[in-house]
Structure formats: C-alpha cells, structure tokens
Structure 1
Amino acid sequence: MRRLCALVLILMVLAAPWPAGAADKELVVGVEELEYYPIYALRDGDYVGAAREILDAFGKDRGYRIVYRPLPIKRLFAELINGSIDVKFPDNAQWAGDVKQGTKVYYSQPVIAYVDGVMVRPANKGLGADSVRVLGTVAGFTPFAWLDRIKAGKTQLKENPRMELLLKQAAVGHIDGAYASVAVASYVLATSLAMPGAVVFDSDLPHSRDFYQLSSTRRADVIAEFDAWMVVNQARIKFIKESMGAERGIH
C-alpha cells in the first residue's frame, strides 16, 4: 500500500504543470522533414499536426521551451544516435535496428496508434498479395510487412518523394498499391487530392499495426517525465487525436 501511494505521488509531481514564472528549459525535438499531416507536417517552415499539439501541451505544462528541428529521415536517426537532439518523434523500437545497434535508446509509452498498409484501387481490393507486383512507398520508409516478399523477388519496391504523388500513382494504376499510413493517406485523398475513395485500405494484405513513440539516447529523464504527463492527460491527448483525425481509419 505504501509503495502504491508513493508511486501515485511521484506521478502527480512529475505530471503537474510548472508554476507560473518557472524558467523555461530548452528541449530540442528532432522531427521528420515530411508531409505526414494530420499527424505531423511542415507548413511554411512551421512544424504542425497532432504530434505538435501534444508535445506543445507537454512543454507548456512542464516548463520546456521546445525547439523543433526538422530533418530528413535518415539524418534524423543519425542525430538521435550521436545525441545532437534531445528527443526524436516519431520513433518505434522496431525501426532502424541496424542504425541503433549498440546504442541505448529510451522510448516513451505509445503516443499515437497507426496502421501502415496498402492502399489499392477499389476494384483490386481482396485480390491478395500476389496481385501486388509493384508496391510504392514514400522515400525513406520501410514496408516491414512486405520485406519477405520483396527479398524473395515477388514484389518490387518503388519509392516516391511525396505522399500525393504516391497515391496518384496507385489511383491510375502505375503501381499496384501504395504502402502508407492509413490515417495520412485518407486525409490526403479527402483534402489536397480531392479524390476520396480513389484508393482504399485493403486490410487483407500484409500491414503493420503499432504506435509512434518519443525516443532519446541522452534524456531518459524527459522520457520518464513525458510518460508521467501522459498518464494524467489521457483525455486531453485523446481529444487532440480525435479532433485532428490522427488515428482515422485504424480502429
């Protein structure tokens, strides 16, 4: 009972907002230089999306002055490993294992759930994995659920620098499917492309279901603080994700 009370007290102290006037502490957050809205994106040089709303709320409550540093995906992993950034978002323990090998990386509890899967033309839904001979993805992303088929030569991987172009290629049949975040693809189809339903998620094809996390190699204290903050701000985080559609189409 004493241990439980002590744990609750620690969580309350860690998660409580800082008093007004507390000195801001700079926190450098490495983020992907990628259009992945509504989860995250760069708009006129500003980092926007559900991820920023959540991290900004944490920073405000805990007295951090957050500095977002957008970087290409591969360089961002390098900056994480060499400690040039305080924390990285998004990350996952399953990503870039070869790059992280030999380095201790601290991960937060899940922040945003995601499904990465194949978007196909409606007429091709349900045809099975053998129908996907050419699979497209955004440059720098790894379609983990398809690696065995790619290595076996059953599926060819084609990278594209932008989500909009990737989805257009799938819609007109230049590729057999587009491997992407279901939430992001759904948003792009409905907004910037104005092509809702042109391609749809085929849940029968190999896909990955996991979570985006905050990570660090040098600030385990921030990761622990962020976890404690999330515990007492679950409703607030849920509202941000639902209002922005960050987990659209995954449940």
Structure 2
Amino acid sequence: MRAGNFVIGVEDIDYAPIMSTGPDGEFRGYARELLDLFGQRHGHRFDYRPLPAKRLTAEHAAGRLDGVFPDNPNWEGEAKRGLALTYSQPAVPFQDVVLVPRARRDQPVHELGVVRGFTPKRFMPLIQSGDLHVTEAGDPSRLIRMALAGRVDGVHVALPVARYQLKQLRLPDALVPSTTLPSAPYEHHYRLSSARHAELVVQFDRFLREEQAALATLQRRWGLGAGS
C-alpha cells in the first residue's frame, strides 16, 4: 500500500494513559504513539479528529473519516447496521477491573460507577435482575473520586487508567480489585476500523505482528501490557 494522508476519528475522552484529548484538542497517550509509529513505518500521515463516541460512527458512515480508533465489532451495533467495516486485530492490551475501597474488598457491590457511554456487558445479568445499579460519570477522574467518597460501592475501569488517576491523587493504594465482582480476563478491546481502506487495516495488522519488540517497549513506558 502506498503512503497516504488519512483522517482518523478518535474518541474524545480523558482515558489516560491509553488516550486523552487535552484542552488544546490534541490527541495524546499510548494510542497516539502507537498510531504515529505505524504511520512512520509506512510513510502515512494521520490527522486525528477527536469526537464523542456516538459521533464517531455517524461521521464514519457519512464518509468523513478514513478510519476510527478505538473501535470494536461489539460497539454501536445498531448504528453500524449496513456499514461494511474492516477491523484490525486487537491493538491495546489492558484489563478491565472493578475497584473498591480496601475496606470493601470482600463486600457485595450494589452501586457500580462506570464512565458514561461504557457498558459493562459482563455484568448485564446482574443489572437486569436489579442486583446491580449503574451510576455514570463523565470521565475516570470523577469516577475514582466517587468511589473514594463512598458515592458508589465500586468502579468499573481499565486498570492502567485507574492506576494513573490514583497516582495523580497521590493515593496509589486507596482502591483495590473487588473479590465479589472479579476482574475481566486480560484482553485487548481496542481495534482500528475502516469502511474505506481495508488495505490500511491489513497493513496495521502486519505492523502489530512485526513490531512486537517496539510495541512492548512502548507499552512499558505507558504502563500497559501484561498485568495492566
């Protein structure tokens, strides 16, 4: 595939260190450096366009984006109906956890905080039965503060994001994994998708396979990888 310029829609959210958009509108974090490295290896130039999650799919469907990151086949199913998307292999390694104050580690979680727009699908049976109620917050920083203040029993968040936020608060050990709502398996949620450039996604997959040493270094620097 020839080098080219591409507009990549990215989620406008503070989910550091995985990704964040600053007040200046600049896309930052591990995801930015991952995509930049991919672009450098193949001579591509990416114009990152931060958008709310639901706008990403709409703009992609309208042909105003060349790709979206992060994306996942399980997200926005109805909005994507009829849209032929090519997805990359999983690209960002982390683990989703439910964190609670240390004193509540072994106690039931009835009120769970989540970032607005995120759906904890593995807990849907508990939510549908009424045993678990979900409270939303606009960003992980607010979510963590809600747990620390006792406004929710626990929070559902990516482990590296929680560690980053707790470090900013100088309370690195204030929240611990719940034993009653266990952590998800170590996995990758985030993929690159494209409706217009399947060849770009294929090239990205090859990059993920061939650059594992460079990516491991990048993950360590951003606090991702195994156990994160």
Question: Shared fold (TM-score greater than 0.5)?
Answer: yes
Q: How far is 1:72 from its partner? A: 0.7
Quick one: distance in 1 between partners of 2:58 and 2:105?
A: 38
Q: Which amino acid aligns with 2:17?
A: P
Q: How far is 1:45 from its partner? A: 2.0
Q: How far is 1:204 from its partner? A: 4.8
Quick one: distance in 2 between partners of 1:232 and 1:247?
A: 17
**2:147: which partner in 1?**
170
What SS does the aligned partner of 1:99 have? coil
**1:32: which partner in 2?**
11
Native 8 Å contact 1:114 1:183 kept in 2: yes
Q: Does 1:57 align with 2:33?
A: no
Q: Does 1:108 align with 2:108?
A: no
Match of 2:215 among 208, 212, 237: 237
Q: Does 1:85 align with 2:65?
A: yes
**2:225: which partner in 1?**
247
Q: How far is 1:199 from its partner? A: 1.1
Quick one: distance in 2 between partners of 1:102 and 1:204?
A: 40
What SS does the aligned partner of 2:172 have? coil
Q: How far is 1:100 from its partner? A: 2.2
Native 8 Å contact 2:216 2:225 kept in 1: no
Larger helix percent: 1
Tell which structure's C-alpha radius of gyration is larger.
1
Q: Which amino acid aligns with 2:11?
A: E
Native 8 Å contact 2:96 2:157 kept in 1: yes
Q: Which amino acid aligns with 1:157?
A: V
Native 8 Å contact 1:117 1:203 kept in 2: no
Q: Which amino acid aligns with 1:151?
A: Q
Unaligned stretches of 5+ residues in structure 2 = none
Q: CA RMSD in A?
A: 1.8
What SS does the aligned partner of 2:192 have? strand
Quick one: distance in 1 between partners of 2:54 and 2:176?
A: 29
Q: How far is 1:97 from its partner? A: 2.2
**1:157: which partner in 2?**
134
Q: How far is 1:236 from its partner? A: 0.6
Quick one: distance in 2 between partners of 1:176 and 1:113?
A: 26
Native 8 Å contact 2:61 2:83 kept in 1: yes
Q: Does 1:215 align with 2:193?
A: yes
Quick one: distance in 1 between partners of 2:213 and 2:64?
A: 33
Q: Which amino acid aligns with 1:160?
A: A
Q: How far is 1:102 from its partner? A: 3.1
What SS does the aligned partner of 1:59 have? helix
**1:202: which partner in 2?**
178
Q: Which amino acid aligns with 2:175?
A: V
Quick one: distance in 2 between partners of 1:204 and 1:101?
A: 36
TM-score normalised by length of structure 1: 0.83
Quick one: distance in 1 between partners of 2:182 and 2:56?
A: 27
**1:4: which partner in 2?**
none
Q: How far is 1:95 from its partner? A: 2.0
Native 8 Å contact 1:138 1:162 kept in 2: yes
1:39-79 CA-partner distances (Å, limit 9, x unpaired): 11112321111111110011112121110000011111222
TM-score normalised by length of structure 2: 0.91
Native 8 Å contact 1:121 1:198 kept in 2: yes
Q: Does 1:185 align with 2:162?
A: yes
